Structure 1
Amino acid sequence: MYDAQVRAAAVAAMARGESLSSISKRFGMNRATLRNWHARPAPTSDPTGCPRCSNGHLPEGPYAHLLGLYLGDGCLSKHRREVYALRIACDDSYPRLIDEAADAATAVHPNRPAHRIQAAGHTSVVSYWKHWPCLFPQHGPGPKHQRKIELHRWQQEIVAANPELFLRGLFNSDGCRVANWTTRTVTGHPKRYEYPRYMFSNESTDIMHLCQQALDLLDIPWRMSRPNTLSVARREAVSRLDAFIGPKS
């Protein structure tokens, strides 16, 4: 095996036009290795590295989704050797949501599997990594609604580029699509009308504000039906959310 510096120097020499024989003699590797390096450039990022404190890659779409899930039903807990567990609590009634949470966690941290731990009435999707606090700096003691929740600039940029996936994570955690009804008088008789709407509930005013901002980015109208509950009820707005959220399953 050759270290990254030797490989980089050999590849640079090939790029300058130096012969394979010359490079092989200078660095002590065979020409087949050099041809392989030329055909398959070394990755520019470390798959095991942290996207924030080293050169790891952060897939922004899955991260935006995972951030929404974390703000809704997620937490970090510290284990031995500075390893943290990211836990996303998922209702067992919605197996698709469990699969999506596991897929998002695996996409962001592909070096380790996402575990599914069964509990009473729910499944926790759990992923272990020393660097989860780097990706979720909102981590802190106590419930989220009892502390300030603000996104860092780099997180804001990711959400701004992927508002649909961020909202999908939020609504999959603390939201729902429900059927409401009302009555109207038609030719002197009451008539019942049903219509769908989306609801998002969260005790944190900061997280609620993040949901509102993401909806505003997409020009989707909303209103607050209660201090802790947001509603999207206009037909066109519901259709927009149906395109990237939809009913839970």
Structure 2
Amino acid sequence: MNFHGTEVRQKALTLLRGGTKNADVARRLNVPLGTIGYWKHTDRAKRGETVGVRPSLLCPLCDGRPLDKAAYSYLLGLYLGDGHISHYAKHKVPSLMITLDDAWPGVQDEAEAALRAVFPHNATCRVRLKGAHNIKVYFKHLACLFPQHGPGKKHERKIALEPWQQKIVDAHPWGFIRGLIHSDGCRITNWTTRVVAGEKKRYEYPRYFFSNKSDDIRKLLTDTLTKVGVEWTVLARGSDPFNVSIARRASVALMDAHIGPKY
């Protein structure tokens, strides 16, 4: 480890106060760029100057940074369906990952756009998996924005929205529904046959499904569907009511107007 004496540090501060860029000072004095940045930061703090914080570190809840609430409502739905937060030892900050099937590239694009809107100063990336991609962002305050994060699987713990999250969902309900459908839902075409005038005819009709093991997450969806006027029923898989079905013509038309098929 190299130690730099008071004389070198003072030369650096003189240059910095004169407007010389950090990189130029580091190169001229043969001092690591990180050390120059630290000296500049502490010097400005000692002299009472306002020390700026990088926007990528600011949290909407802790620091009052503006939040795109419409994009957040959609992202919250995606997170509750197919998202998780990880914090590996080799990384300094946690990451939010939304795992989405490659069969729906448009949904992947929407997810990444939502990440960029909610985290405008943080880089996003896509990590290839077998048949899918993780849409990913790193941010120190992810647990603030997604307080549903916790140990274990979502369906094995209580999932409830904080009051500030519920206000956002109430203001942007279709974004929330869209995120949930894009993660754990689908639009399909069912068919049946009827005998008309002695002739068997085939009839097709669309419907929406949402499948999730968490009773709490299904209730968040159904409560929001009810608020926007969508009628729904619960279909059991065996003895477990994992499936929410939307099949009435008027409700399907309402869903089509705001959600539509995954793409």
Quote the offset at 1:189 in angstroms.
2.1
Q: CA deviation at 1:235?
A: 1.2
Task: Tell me which residue corresponds to 2:67.
Answer: 58
Show CA shifts across 1:28-66 (max 9, x none). xxxxxxxxxxxxxxxxxx674101111211111000000
Cα distance in 2, alignment partners of residues 126 and 75 from structure 1? 10
Do the aligned residues in 2 keep the contact of 1:47 with 1:57 (CA within 8 Å)?
Answer: no
Per the TM alignment, residue 182 of structure 1 is displaced from its structure 2 partner at its CA by 1.1
Structure 2 residue ranges without an equivalent (≥5) = 1-54
Displacement of 1:113 in angstroms is: 1.8
1:222 pairs with one of 232, 235, 254: 232
Tell whether 2:191 aligns with 1:177. Answer: no
- For 1:13-32, what aligned pairs fall within 5 Å after superposition? none
Q: State the percentage of identical aligned residues.
A: 49
- Asked if the contact 1:47–1:56 (Cα under 8 Å) also holds between the matched residues in 2, the reply is no
Q: Distance in 1 between matches of 2:122 and 2:165?
A: 23
Q: Deviations over 1:111-153 (max 9, x none)?
A: 1121001010100001000011100000001110000000000
> What stretches of structure 1 of length at least 5 have no aligned partner?
1-45
Q: State the partner residue of 2:246.
A: 232
4+ residue runs of structure 1 moved beyond 4 angstroms? none
- Is 1:186 matched with 2:226? no
Is 2:56–2:122's contact at 8 Å kept on the other side of the alignment? no
| Structure 2 residue identity aligned to 1:111 | H
Matched, 1:93 2:107: no
Q: Do the aligned partners of 1:72 and 1:170 also contact (CA within 8 Å) in 2? A: yes
- Using the size of structure 1 for normalisation, the TM-score is 0.80
The structure having more radius of gyration, on CA atoms, is 2
Return the offset for 1:79: 3.4
Residue 94 (structure 1) shift: 0.7
Aligned twin of 1:142: 152
Q: For the residues of structure 1 that align with 2:197 and 2:75, how far apart are their CA atoms?
A: 51
For residue 78 of structure 1, report the CA deviation from its aligned partner.
1.1
Q: TM-score when scaled to structure 2?
A: 0.76
Q: Deviations over 1:156-215 (max 9, x none)?
A: 110011110000000000000000011112112221100000000000000000000110
Matched length: 207
Alignment of 1:133 onto 2:143: yes
- On the 8 A contact 2:124/2:136 being kept in 1, the answer is yes
Q: CA RMSD in A?
A: 1.8
Residue 152 of structure 1 corresponds to: 162
1:107 aligns with 2:121: no
Match among 156, 172, 175 for residue 165 of structure 1: 175
| Cα distance in 2 between the residues matched to 1:194 and 1:248 | 19
Distance 1:152 1:105 in 2: 20
Give the Cα separation in 2 of the matches to 1:164 and 1:195: 23
Give runs of aligned pairs for residues 109-124 of structure 1, distance below 5 A.
Answer: 109-124=119-134
